[in-house]
Amino acid sequence: MGKVALITGVTGQDGSYLSNFLIDKEYTVHGTVRRSSSINTYRIDDLISKYQESGKFKLHYSDLLDSSSLNTLIQSINPDEIYNLAAQSHVMVSFKNPVYTTQTGNMGPLSMLEAIRYSEKDVKFYQASSSEMFGGSEKVSLNEKSPFDPKSPYAASKVFAHNMTKMYRDSYDLFCVNGILFNHESPLRGQTFVTRKITRALGRIVLGIQEKLTLGNLDASRDWGFAGDYVEGMWKMMQYNTPDDWVLATGETHTIKDFLSIAFSLYDLDWEKYVITSEKYFRPNEVDYLLGDYSKASELLDWKPKTSFEDLVKLMCESDLELAKKDKVLLDENLITPTWEHPLSS
Ligand code: NAP
Ligand code: GDD
């Protein structure tokens, strides 16, 4: 019999990649979806159509703030592994909605840890910790022992959940792990994160249906990997013989300008002719520099990133050029209004 996993945030980028990965490993996957006024399962629609009938992939309404539904789900599904991926995951939005970001980021994992503590079964728990917790003030390589210095409500709530996960592991002998993941992207990345904002706009610029792209701080540096590689690392943490904290990263860092330069040069374009900056996208407090040291995961989990930075940029650009072609058809037929510089972009 295959194992059973419960994934919160299954409709997100990582939820989609992890569900695919676990189903390939013969897991039955249950995912939580929060109610919204329109259905937003586009990242997992292929899984729904392939596996819903056989019961290998099942969705349940829940919310990080609804401890009762989380508890009931854990008791009824009886999972072997829980991956807590759900969060208000946008750093800039966390400055605008600090209470909601903190309530969900703190209470969600805590409710699940409490449910696991009283569960009769030994349930493993994965918490999606983040490199944002380090604060990135110095140009150093960061590992599991580096100190935290959160710079946003998002990062502070991730530190709380990280500490709680460790505290439950140490106090109650539970299998609780923290995956401290550096930025990871893909064609399924949310469109308001900088990489996807760039590749989405670039596709339209190449086709001549968008003129300008407005961004914020172009000098920040990030350690960007491919999400598909990182979900394998999450799973490996959960199979290791002891629960622990683990960094996943690529060991390379690049500025937003580097990303722009590689992306635009794929189409022989000079990014400086198309990109403008606006104060509106600058954050109240910036994480300037993130570079991860994944040697512990490499040594003990035999994990390493497989996708280079250049390949990641290319993969995202190619996928978004295809999407832009669809935009163009709809635009030519007057079926959509261009809202490329969306007011909710952040
Ligand atoms: P994402 O695409 O933004 O997905 C977040 C998921 O959380 C979505 O399914 C979202 O549902 C769900 N969610 C948001 N608020 C919720 C609530 N109140 N109750 C229940 N579900 C809620 O994020 P991601 O990139 O896949 O990242 C996954 C996790 O890893 C997040 O916790 C993130 O903070 C963390 N992380 C990400 C990175 C990265 O670079 N991607 C790095 C380190 C850590 P909707 O679809 O309805 O919005
Ligand atoms: N989103 C966004 N939009 N970021 C911009 C823009 C813009 O228009 N212009 C410049 N940036 C800069 C931000 O200021 C930041 O320095 C960098 O681009 C990356 O921003 P995001 O792509 O929004 O990601 P993030 O690094 O803040 O957060 C992501 O990675 C974390 C891991 O380090 C998110 O996925 C978090 O959930 C995750 O924990």
274 lines ligand 2 (CB under 6 A): no
| Residue 263 included in any domain | no
How far does residue 183's CA lie from ligand 2's centre (Å)?
8
60 forms beta bridges with 32
How far does residue 340's CA lie from ligand 2's centre (Å)?
19
Say which of 132, 168, 186, 232 is annotated catalytic: 132
DSSP, collapsed to helix, strand or coil, labels residue 135 as coil
Q: Which amino acid is at 68?
A: S
| Residue 19 included in any domain | yes
Domain CATH number, residue 26: 3.40.50.720
Q: Which two tokens stand for residue 170?
A: 């140490």
Residue 62's nearest CA partner among 49, 50, 76 is 76
Instruction: In whole angstroms, give the CA distance from residue 178 to residue 185.
Output: 19
| Residue 54 included in any domain | yes
Residues with CB under 6 A from ligand 1: 8-9, 11-15, 34, 36, 40, 63-65, 85-89, 104, 128, 130, 181, 183-184, 190
Query: Is 130 in the active site?
Result: yes
| Residue 269 included in any domain | no
CA atoms within 13 A on the CB side of 102: 10
256 lines ligand 2 (CB under 6 A): yes
How far does residue 194's CA lie from ligand 2's centre (Å)?
6
| Residue 265 included in any domain | no
Ligand nearest to the CA of residue 291, numbered in listed order: 2
For ligand 2, what atom is nearest to the CA of residue 288?
A: 16
Residue 345 pLDDT: 86
Q: How close are the terminal C-alpha atoms of the chain, in Å?
A: 45
Report the chain's mean pLDDT, rounded to a whole number.
97
Query: Is 154 in the active site?
Result: yes
| Residue 78 included in any domain | yes
Residue 15's nearest CA partner among 23, 7, 25 is 7
| Residue 205 included in any domain | no
pLDDT tens for 109-139 read 999 999 999 999 999 999 999 999 999 999 9
| Residue 75 included in any domain | yes
4 lines ligand 2 (CB under 6 A): no
197 lines ligand 2 (CB under 6 A): yes
How far does residue 346's CA lie from ligand 2's centre (Å)?
9
How far does residue 205's CA lie from ligand 2's centre (Å)?
22
Residue 342 pLDDT: 86
Say which of 17, 83, 126, 154 is annotated catalytic: 154
What is the extent of the structural domain holding 44?
4-185+224-248
125 forms beta bridges with 82, 176
Instruction: In whole angstroms, give the CA distance from residue 61 to residue 243.
Output: 29
* Regions of the chain where pLDDT drops below 50: none
**Count of domains for the chain:** 1
Residue 341 pLDDT: 86
Ligand nearest to the CA of residue 289, numbered in listed order: 2
pLDDT tens for 216-248 read 999 999 999 999 999 999 999 999 999 999 999
Q: What are phi and psi of 176, to 5 degrees?
A: -120, 125
pTM of the model: 0.98
Residue 64 pLDDT: 98
For ligand 1, what atom is nearest to the CA of residue 64?
A: 19
Burial category of 263 from C-beta neighbours within 10 Å (exposed 0-12, middle 13-18, buried 19 and up): buried
For ligand 1, what atom is nearest to the CA of residue 131?
A: 43
How far does residue 128's CA lie from ligand 2's centre (Å)?
16
